Amino acid sequence: MKKLILSLALVAVTAIAFGQKKVVRSANKNFKSGDLEAALTDINTAIEDPETGAEPETYLLKAQIELKMFGSDSTQNAENLEIGEASLATFFKTFEMAGSNKEDGVGKDVYADDVTGVPDNLRPYSIFTLKNTSFDKAIRSYENEDLEMAYEYFNLAGEIDQMDTTIHYNAGFLANELGRTEDAKKHFNLLFEIPEYNKLNAYYTMIQIASAEEDSEGAYELVKNAREEYPEDKVLAEYEIQLLLQLNKMDEAMAQINEALKKDPENTAILLRSGYLKEQSGDIEGALADYKKSVEVDPEFYEGNYYTGALLLEMAKEVMTELNALSDEEWEKRSDEMGATINGYYDDAVPYFEKSLEIRPEDTDVMAILFQIHSRLKNAEEAEKYNQKLIELLGPNWMEEG
């Protein structure tokens, strides 16, 4: 009797196990036929069973069902993304259950190569199929100008493959565009770990992010790292000089400027910074020479023209201050000579500010400067010309408002 009871129990267990295997087969059949809701219901039932729920093959099928649901849905929205994320989580669980081995068994199936463009029935429905599907959805979202979803799909694909530089650059770029700077940093930092990848654009963006966050030290560290890899890059050289100036490392900045000008003596941006540094150190003539040279190299260089004119006005102001500090007797002796020097600086400044205005015709600040210069020089007609322009753009009370 005891033997009969044991036999009946064994038959019952076998029947239950067979029944659950049947549910898995049903899930697989529905998966292949495209009845995905039924397939998901079946596989969830099988997962709840202690036997079939302990098999990595069961979870692999669930991940594939979720993947097919993700890909067959033509929408790109949060609900669809959630299905893709669920599929990824199931793939990861499957791989862990299979012993985290990509070379054999179910783990090998999880990471089977996926080739896009082949018939659907030939795709392995592996984790790389999920990656490629998510990438395609990211591109479609971007084309539809839905940058948020484009980022999310790139990010999902990037969680699968941390070595795919296209995915991580696109994800970092979009995150930065969306103001999600921490997400942008995550993706760009992954790119920095890939030796053969050209990281210049990633470095540029990360430096700009750090600068926008007023993290000059962090930005400078990025520049130093970048220059070790790309020592000849002119943009990085300019960034380094700018950051050294921000960090008040004047000696280092000047050394970098001199080194940069040896290699590229007609680089207008570096000439401008050289002039600025010399101006700050009190070498006014040296600063003026650098500013003027930047304009000689590129007459359309707005900053070069503006800085040259501004420094000439500052030189006039210094002479004016000196003149006003003289005693009455000294003033009588030297006022004509010093007045002529002041007016000479004003005269010299005019063409630089006129060129600045030609480059930026709506620049009311430059118009106001030219009005003041011509008023000082008693060029009434020219002063009135700029007065009328300013009235037209800013209103009749522009002087009071300024």
Condensed to tens digits (0 to 9), the pLDDT of residues 344-391 reads 999 999 999 999 999 999 999 999 999 999 999 999 999 999 999 999
Q: What is the pLDDT of residue 121?
A: 82
Give yes or no for residue 303 having a pLDDT over 70. yes
Give me the pLDDT at residue 233, please. 85
Res 245: pLDDT: 85
- The mean of the pLDDT values for the chain is 91
pLDDT digits (tens, 9 = 90+) for 146-159: 999 999 999 999 99
Mean pLDDT of 197-202: 95
| Sequence-separated (6 or more) residues with CB below 8 Å from residue 159 | 88
Q: With a cut of 50, say whether residue 196 has pLDDT above it.
A: yes
Residue 6 pLDDT greater than 60, yes or no: no
C-alpha distances in Å from residue 245, one per residue of 217, 278, 282: 12, 12, 15
* Structural domain boundaries in the chain: 266-353, 362-402
pLDDT value, residue 20? 60
Half-sphere exposure for 257 (CA within 13 Å, toward CB): 23
Q: Is the pLDDT of residue 218 over 80?
A: yes
Tell me the CATH architecture of domain 266-353.
Alpha Horseshoe (1.25)
pLDDT, tens only, 92-101: 999 999 999 9
- Tokens representing 283 are 């070498």
- pTM value is 0.70
Handedness of CA 24, 28, 31, 34 (dihedral sign): negative
Q: What is d(CA 168, CA 155) in angstroms, rounded to the nearest whole number?
A: 8
Over residues 305-317, mean pLDDT: 95
